[in-house]
A and B are shown apart, each in its own frame.
Chain A
């Protein structure tokens, strides 16, 4: 029970924020909602179509393919980047100038803008002038990210691993440094093997940062657009056309505003759902850690 006097004036204080959010998020979103329920034939002529666009979008085979491709890609990103990031963090030096030097080196790829990353790999992967592509060609491997669907998909994956594994590594590195020395000393006195130290000390203590890493990487890769757009333009065929690119093609390329709007709402809901899970997950980990700290 609260005995505080009720004072609703404080609502006025959040009015500026409400206005900002309205102009930057809610109104544009409402425009999309508006498009999603109308057939816009010309700027002057429009017809209300209800949920027709949603229905047709749900039955769109190309879209379904893009969604499956997207989920497969995001899972592949996680399967590669998380273990690799942990491994990298474990092998990074803990102290001294070496650790600073390694941290800077590892962080470099995180500082490069997305479209530049795409361009770098576009050149890197070329068989005539790119180091990577030419090296593969010299080894007698028939590699072409522009001609071969599998090569293109793998190149986009490797590019993402190159770009974002350092983030996972840095998160894990921070998590590892937060483990008190006493744990390692106790483990050495208990006669634990290196693997047991990893399994019973490092991995459980990394749980929190790993959860953040997993969700960040999942969401980011789920929205990937720029790099594959620059590198392969979604090709060859549709091999690297992920959801956001498909959406752009529909909206800006073909000017199918209705279906594009309907689909962006669905996309938005998927991401909102993931955000919701992320938020709750982190919240729960936070409170669990807090009660643990409260005991100590």
Chain B
């Protein structure tokens, strides 16, 4: 277990010139000991690169990685004492489940008695005790992935356990179960966990802190509620939440801070209001969707023609398509952006 500090940038090609050449733009961040982190972002945003830099599979082209203050940039994953679980199950075909789980320990010369105890414990946690003597090659994909997870967790003394979208191949109902399991394991073992995913639900439920990444940049690090309430970047607003944040020209609000060009408001905080009410805009409803627990109303602003979405509770009276409505957009939850960055 260790505190991990990063201060680096990475480009896969030599002599990067523009920002596009970088897989990871210069960034600085820390993962504290025994925290649960998620790296969240769309495909190609650099989250796996960042993870592989932390584990040592990729050497950053600039900067350094420190574990507990010690520079480990040049060290291999083995020397860093990292465990990593990959997107697709990696198992050793010729071994049984137990041998697979024991493999990382055996390679490090752990005494047989201890290995047996650890393997038993991990198998129990993953509910695989009854499959220990089966050949791993004959198991289904989710069982194989559980073995991969188990191999990541079997060593007690690891600096951190890294997950690279480990639940991609798992059936949805097992996904929930395994995610809960991971959370529980985190509480029991107090390991530093870093979890890469493109699924916001997965990230927000798993991690204490979520790092949102886009185009090689970590745009915000924060808890689920911080990401939801105060997105530091318009990308975070778009990416987190379902549907994402509404962005309107800042001119619709009278009290917008100087220089702000965009105003952001979550569909959850957009409400129907009386005509000409303070901080409201006039719009025409273009679409109404019933999502079961709430209604999703899409409307076109009278001024400027931008689209805005509102999540309205079922109890409320739903407007019909074509109705002229007034929507409250300025309030305590409204954020202002300049050059895509949060200003107020």
Taking Cβ atoms with an 8 Å cutoff, the residues of A that contact B are: 180, 182-183, 185-186, 188-193, 196, 200-201, 204-205, 292, 295-296
- Interface: B94 (CB within 8 A): yes
Which one, B57, B89, B94, B107, contacts A296 given CB within 8 A? B89
9 A-B pairs with C-beta separation under 8 A: A182-B86, A182-B90, A189-B104, A191-B78, A191-B104, A192-B103, A200-B92, A200-B94, A204-B93
Contacts of A205 in B (CB 8 A): 93
Also in contact, A189 and B94, with CB within 8 A (given A196-B107, A295-B144, A296-B169) = no
- Name the one of A183, A185, A193 contacting B57, with C-beta atoms under 8 angstroms: A185
B103-122, CB < 8 A from A: 103-104, 107-108
| B144 contacts A190, C-beta separation under 8 Å | no
Interface string of B90-105 (1 = CB under 8 A from A): 1011110000000110
B contact residues around A183 at 8 Å (CB): 90
In the bound complex, CA of A180 to CA of B164 (Å): 15
Taking a contact as CB atoms closer than 8 A, the residue among B78, B89, B141 that contacts A188 in the complex is: B78
Contact B141 A191 (CB under 8 A): no
Note all chain B residues with C-beta closer than 8 A to A201.
92
Q: How far is the CA of A180 from the CA of B104 in the complex (A)?
A: 19
Q: How far is the CB of B251 from chain A (nearest CB, A)?
A: 51
* Contact-residue size bin, chain B (C-beta under 8 Å from the other chain): 20 to 34
Task: Write the chain B residue with the least CB distance to A292.
Answer: B137
* Distance in Å: Cβ of A183 to nearest Cβ of chain B: 5
Q: A186-B84, A189-B78 are in contact. List 8 more A-B contacts (CB 8 A).
A: A182-B90, A186-B148, A188-B57, A188-B78, A190-B104, A190-B107, A190-B151, A200-B95
Do A185 and B86 have beta carbons less than 8 Å apart? yes
Which secondary structure dominates chain A's binding surface?
A: helix
A292 contact set on B, CB distance < 8 A: 137
Question: In the bound complex, how far is the Cα of B90 from the Cα of A188, in angstroms?
Answer: 12
Cβ-defined contact, B88 with A185, below 8 A: no
B319 within 8 Å of A by Cβ?
no
- B92 to A191, Cβ gap below 8 A? no
Q: Is B55 positioned at the interface, with any CB of A under 8 Å from its CB?
A: yes
User: A191 and B107 in contact (CB under 8 A), knowing A180-B88, A204-B93?
Assistant: yes
Find the B residue at minimum CB distance from A190. B104
B93 near A188 with CB under 8 A, answer: no
Q: With a CB–CB cut-off of 8 A, which chain A residues contact B148?
A: 186
Complex-state Cα separation, A193 to B109, whole angstroms: 12
Q: Which residues of chain A come closer than 8 Å to B108, judged between CB atoms?
A: 191
Contacts A292-B137, A295-B141, A295-B144 given; indicate if A186 touches B107 (C-beta within 8 A): no
CA distance A196 to B92 in the complex (A): 10
B100 to chain A, nearest CB (A): 9
* B39-79 Cβ-contact flags toward A at 8 Å (1 or 0): 00000000000000001010000000000000000001110
- Tell me the smallest distance from the CB of B85 to a CB of chain A, in Å: 8
Closest to B87 in A: A182
In Å, the complex CA distance between A295 and B84 comes to: 22
Docked-complex contact A188 and B92, CB < 8 angstroms:
no
Contacts of B104 in A (CB 8 A): 189-191
